Structure 1
């Protein structure tokens, strides 16, 4: 049986922009998988994204904290990202207020956020009561509700990537992935980097 050789990467695959998109997608998968390991009913979590090579240059001791395969990947690609979870987030009434109060220093190349939400199929929201408290109660009791976890990341001045996991299909191979799955949240995270 013969096999054809793997074609060399095209210029498009090796361009910094393409490598940055791949690094961002990898970082979102890693963040989403990390958060998923803690289970459901979790608070909002926020992560700074830094280019690993730059972080290693600034803090050489970081190398001792990275798995050998992560360190090798980081040394091979200057676009490789490391996520740093942010502790002690400021108090905020809602996600929009939290994100509106965040700013990042220039050493942070991107940001990621995970949040859980309840969604209904199209049209189901039309039947919710107008009173906010009654609407929340009806939403939580709705037979067609879906619990979802959203992971959204954006690079400063660059691409975005999203992951969506449903509680009903809580499996690593059932996570939806794409650049703009949650456009409103993408824009809110992007605004923290401006």
Structure 2
């Protein structure tokens, strides 16, 4: 008995979930591009993500602050997101403590963060000194170190998206993207929405 392969099932790219994933990816790309335009050596930046249609309903005056293309996109898709950078963040010793201290009201549909890090290739960390100050000095002077900017966004109802840019390949067409490129940071941002 022979069987023919099952034909691929049609996908519904117009479903609410697919549009939410696409809107999140667009928002994270826009955030990363915005942060990149300011250059490197930047502090952590945090953004609330709100569904633009809902924000316009709650605050009609917002329409005067948005670009005509943004308004058109928001009117065409109820999943469209607007990012709102958070200023005056509480002081924290590190990113984990900063994120651990954040909570969002129900009107915020997601959150995003950008942070710069220094990474080494696999195995290179094994040669670092155990003393934290000496390890930092060795990391910063390591010939194989890479400076990266991470942009991670998560929606309250589940999807995540990441964008990664390296200083060595600092161009918009060289930004890596995907839903789970930085799983630890995805989970830390997700925890702020719980």
Q: Which band: TM-score by shorter chain?
A: over 0.9
The TM-score, its normalising length taken from structure 2, stands at 0.94
Q: For residue 35 of structure 1, what is the aligned residue in structure 2?
A: 35
Query: Is the partner of 2:113 in helix, strand or coil?
Result: strand
How far apart are the structure 2 equivalents of 1:33 and 1:70?
16
Query: Is the partner of 2:118 in helix, strand or coil?
Result: strand
Alpha-carbon shift at residue 65 of structure 1 (Å)? 1.0
Q: Does 1:178 align with 2:178?
A: yes
Structure 1 window deviating more from structure 2 (63-72 vs 142-151): it is: 63-72
How far apart are the structure 1 equivalents of 2:75 and 2:170?
33
Unaligned residue ranges in structure 2 (runs of 5+)? 1-9
How far apart are the structure 2 equivalents of 1:144 and 1:132?
19
- Aligned alpha-carbon RMSD (Å): 0.7
* Cα distance per residue 1:76-96 (max 9 Å; x no partner): 000000000000000000000
* Cα distance per residue 1:57-88 (max 9 Å; x no partner): 01111111111111100000000000000000
How far apart are the structure 2 equivalents of 1:71 and 1:32?
21
How far apart are the structure 1 equivalents of 2:163 and 2:69?
23
Alpha-carbon shift at residue 12 of structure 1 (Å)? 1.4
Q: For residue 46 of structure 1, what is the aligned residue in structure 2?
A: 46
Structure 1 stretches of at least 4 aligned residues deviating more than 3 Å after TM superposition? none
How do 1:99-110 residues align onto structure 2 when only pairs under 5 Å count?
99-110=99-110
Q: For residue 84 of structure 2, what is the aligned residue in structure 1?
A: 84
